[in-house]
């Protein structure tokens, strides 16, 4: 390589080195090489996931590694950067101001890189784009399947696939890109995600055992829930944190990961739980009674996706879902108690 008046870079290096008595590493002037010496893919993924989970154990689970490996990877990254990215105590892990700044810059850039490769692979495998739509309830799944038909009509060359995800790990499915868009119940307000328009609402019901004192009641009020034991969503999951307060969870009852687990516990009279009214249509059980909560605010269902992956395809699906009629037996805009 020549330059600097016809002198090669090697000669220039020798001249400069000779004049200052130090050896110059030209990799320092190459951004790609400098990045490679600072961090690898595992370092990036470990940093991003730990920044979201704030827990070494859950980060290790998501990456299928040991907690020690994650800790070692983060320490190496911090050494290479030259400053701490996390504050660690026996009770919590949180980002330092530098860590917050790095996360805000790195998260959207990393998601864009991954999305680009996934889109290229999708087209290479079948010359057809695939949009993966996650759902956490039967009604949301029904809407996803119906909206997919309209989406595909409007977007030749694209296919929408509906995929059920566990409620307790629904946000992980989005962040790990198992799904591109998720239909989820509110409240939902994640800083790295965009929330679309409300698709439908539904009345709240209290699910209790057939042996529960409330089982013969035609309705209950919010105040009635103060003295009964309520189940809790598994605290190690990755779900909207507002759900716990919204369902009046008090953290004392048995925990569950799936709706099936919750209903099994309720049927055994291990506790009660607040669901949307759709559960009466899709999960009728002889050992469980569903009682309308008359003075509770309705639940709303919305689409959400990573802000870094926002684009025309996702928004086209959202528009198709908005234009898809809710089945008549649920009412036009909401799920209501059956006659």
> Which CATH number belongs to the domain containing residue 96 in this structure?
1.10.10.10
Mean pLDDT of 100-113: 87
Mean pLDDT of 235-253: 69
Indicate whether 163 and 95 sit together in one domain: no
Name which of 37-51, 111-125, 321-335 the model is least confident about. Answer: 321-335
**Residue 57 maps to a domain:** yes
| Separation of alpha carbons 269 and 274, rounded Å | 14
Indicate whether 141 and 206 sit together in one domain: yes
Q: Which residue has the higher pLDDT, 333 or 313?
A: 313
289 confidence band (pLDDT: 50, 70, 90): very high
Indicate whether 149 and 46 sit together in one domain: no
pLDDT at 190 over 80: yes
**Residue 6 maps to a domain:** no
Indicate whether 158 and 81 sit together in one domain: no
Q: What domain range includes position 176?
A: 128-339
Indicate whether 183 and 246 sit together in one domain: yes
Look up the CATH number of the domain holding residue 139: 3.40.190.290
| Domain boundary pick from 71, 104, 137 | 104
- At 89 the pLDDT is 85
- At 184 the pLDDT is 92
116 confidence band (pLDDT: 50, 70, 90): confident
pLDDT at 155 over 80: yes
**Residue 120 maps to a domain:** no
108 confidence band (pLDDT: 50, 70, 90): confident
Mean pLDDT of 242-260: 74
**Residue 31 maps to a domain:** no
**Residue 20 maps to a domain:** no
24 confidence band (pLDDT: 50, 70, 90): very low
Indicate whether 210 and 273 sit together in one domain: yes
pLDDT at 293 over 90: yes
- At 18 the pLDDT is 44
Indicate whether 188 and 312 sit together in one domain: yes
- At 181 the pLDDT is 96
pLDDT at 265 over 90: yes
Which pTM does this prediction carry? 0.64
pLDDT at 97 over 80: yes
pLDDT at 127 over 60: no
**Residue 13 maps to a domain:** no
- At 164 the pLDDT is 93
Indicate whether 91 and 132 sit together in one domain: no
Mean pLDDT of 108-130: 73
Helical ranges in the chain per DSSP H: 9-20, 31-38, 41-53, 56-63, 67-81, 97-126, 138-154, 170-175, 242-246, 259-267, 279-282, 312-323
Q: How many C-beta neighbours within 10 Å does residue 88 have? A: 12
| Separation of alpha carbons 320 and 326, rounded Å | 12
pLDDT at 11 over 70: no
Indicate whether 188 and 148 sit together in one domain: yes
Task: Report long-range pairs for 262-270 (Cβ below 8 Å, ≥24 apart).
Answer: 262/207, 262/231, 263/207, 263/288, 265/231, 266/207, 266/208, 266/209, 266/231, 267/209, 267/210, 268/209, 269/209, 269/211, 269/212, 270/229, 270/231
pLDDT at 35 over 60: no
- Total number of domains in the chain: 2
**Residue 30 maps to a domain:** no
| Separation of alpha carbons 184 and 239, rounded Å | 10
Indicate whether 173 and 93 sit together in one domain: no
Mean pLDDT, the chain, whole residue set? 82
Indicate whether 55 and 184 sit together in one domain: no
Indicate whether 313 and 198 sit together in one domain: yes
């Amino acid at each position: 390589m020549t330059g600097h008046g016809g002198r090669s870079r090697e000669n220039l290096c020798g001249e400069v080195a000779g004049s200052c008595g130090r050896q110059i590493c030209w990799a320092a002037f190459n951004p790609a090489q400098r990045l490679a010496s600072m961090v690898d893919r595992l370092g990036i993924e470990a940093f991003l996931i730990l920044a979201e989970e704030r827990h070494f154990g859950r980060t290790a689970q998501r990456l299928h590694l040991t907690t020690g490996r994650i800790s070692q990877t983060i320490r190496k990254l911090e050494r290479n950067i030259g400053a701490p990215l996390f504050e660690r105590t026996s009770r919590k892990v949180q980002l330092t101001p530098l860590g917050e700044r790095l996360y805000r810059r790195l998260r959207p850039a990393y998601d864009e890189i991954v999305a680009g490769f996934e889109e290229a692979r999708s087209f290479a495998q079948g010359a057809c784009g695939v949009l993966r739509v996650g759902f956490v309830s039967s009604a949301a799944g029904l809407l996803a399947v119906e909206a997919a038909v309209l989406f595909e009509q409007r977007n030749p060359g694209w296919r929408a696939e509906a995929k059920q995800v566990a409620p307790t790990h629904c946000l992980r499915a989005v962040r790990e890109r198992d799904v591109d868009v998720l239909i989820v119940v509110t409240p939902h307000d994640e800083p790295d995600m965009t929330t679309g328009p409300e698709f439908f609402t539904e009345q709240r019901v209290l699910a209790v055992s057939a042996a529960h004192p409330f089982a013969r009641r035609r309705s209950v009020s919010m105040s009635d829930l103060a003295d009964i034991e309520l189940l809790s969503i598994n605290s190690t999951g990755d779900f909207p944190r507002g759900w716990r307060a919204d369902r009046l969870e008090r953290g004392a009852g048995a925990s569950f990961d799936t709706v099936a687990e919750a209903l099994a516990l309720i049927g055994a009279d291990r506790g009660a739980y607040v669901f949307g009214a759709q559960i009466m249509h899709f999960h009728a059980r002889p050992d469980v009674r569903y009682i309308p909560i008359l003075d509770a605010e309705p639940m709303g269902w919305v689409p959400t996706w990573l802000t870094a992956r926002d684009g025309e395809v996702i928004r086209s699906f959202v528009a198709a879902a908005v234009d898809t009629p809710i089945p008549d037996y649920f009412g036009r805009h909401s799920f209501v108690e059956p006659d």
